[in-house]
């Protein structure tokens, strides 16, 4: 419970969504759905099965790597909510020198890798919905970060949000 309080959860008023609780809830629902939704497989030739894994595995590894690097460098500033917690600091080192949202990028790339691995339209649809939620969550988070940290606007101009040099 102490960890949740440190992250800024307000158990009495969570339903207001003042700290982005609904974005987190949507993210969690979609992550669970990505695993549990029935697979709607796309028919493919047998020789394509090897190629889909050859494409999926790098996506899965890259997604996991970005997420792990994000966790490592974020440290005590980590919060599952888009609102920064009281003790957080602006991290601009490590992976955060290259992209502003490596955890979100890792989830996006990993979910696409999962959909490719299963070669499933239903997982692809959930993955695209998750990407939309993570982009929305990042936009809300960045509004709070701009309000809290005076140098965040400069950081935004120097470092792309999700993919270095692109977006």
Residue 136 has pLDDT above 70, yes or no: yes
**pLDDT value of residue 123:** 97
For residues 88 and 145, the answer to whether their CB atoms sit within 8 Å is: no
Task: Tell me the CA distances in angstroms from 137 to 50, 67, 84, 147, 155, one per residue in order.
Answer: 35, 16, 12, 16, 18
Fold held by 48-77+90-167: 1.20.120
Which tokens belong to 10?
């307000």
**Cα Rg of the chain (Å, integer):** 17
Which tokens belong to 97?
């020198």
pLDDT tens digits along 101-132: 999 999 999 999 999 999 999 999 999 999 99
More confident residue, 10 or 75: 75
The structure's pTM equals 0.89
**pLDDT value of residue 11:** 59
Query: What is the chain's mean pLDDT, rounded?
Result: 90
What mean pLDDT comes out for the span 18-43? Answer: 91
| Most confident of the ranges 12-16, 47-51, 152-156, 163-167 | 152-156
Residue 41 has pLDDT above 70, yes or no: yes
């Amino acid at each position: 419970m102490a960890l949740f309080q440190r992250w800024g959860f307000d158990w009495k008023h969570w339903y207001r969504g003042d700290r982005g609780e609904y974005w987190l809830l949507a993210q969690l629902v979609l992550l669970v759905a990505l695993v549990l939704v029935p697979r709607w497989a796309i028919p493919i030739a047998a020789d394509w099965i090897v190629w889909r894994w050859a494409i999926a595995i790098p996506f899965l590894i890259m997604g996991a790597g970005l997420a792990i690097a994000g966790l490592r460098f974020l440290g005590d500033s980590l919060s599952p909510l888009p609102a920064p917690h009281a003790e957080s600091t602006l991290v601009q080192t490590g992976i955060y020198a290259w992209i502003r949202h490596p955890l979100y990028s890792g989830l996006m790339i990993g979910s696409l890798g999962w959909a490719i691995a299963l070669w499933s339209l239903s997982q692809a649809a959930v993955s695209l919905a998750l990407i939309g939620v993570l982009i929305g969550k990042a936009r809300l988070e960045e509004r709070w970060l701009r309000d809290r940290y005076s140098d965040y606007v400069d950081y935004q101009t120097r470092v792309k949000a999700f993919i270095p040099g692109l977006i």
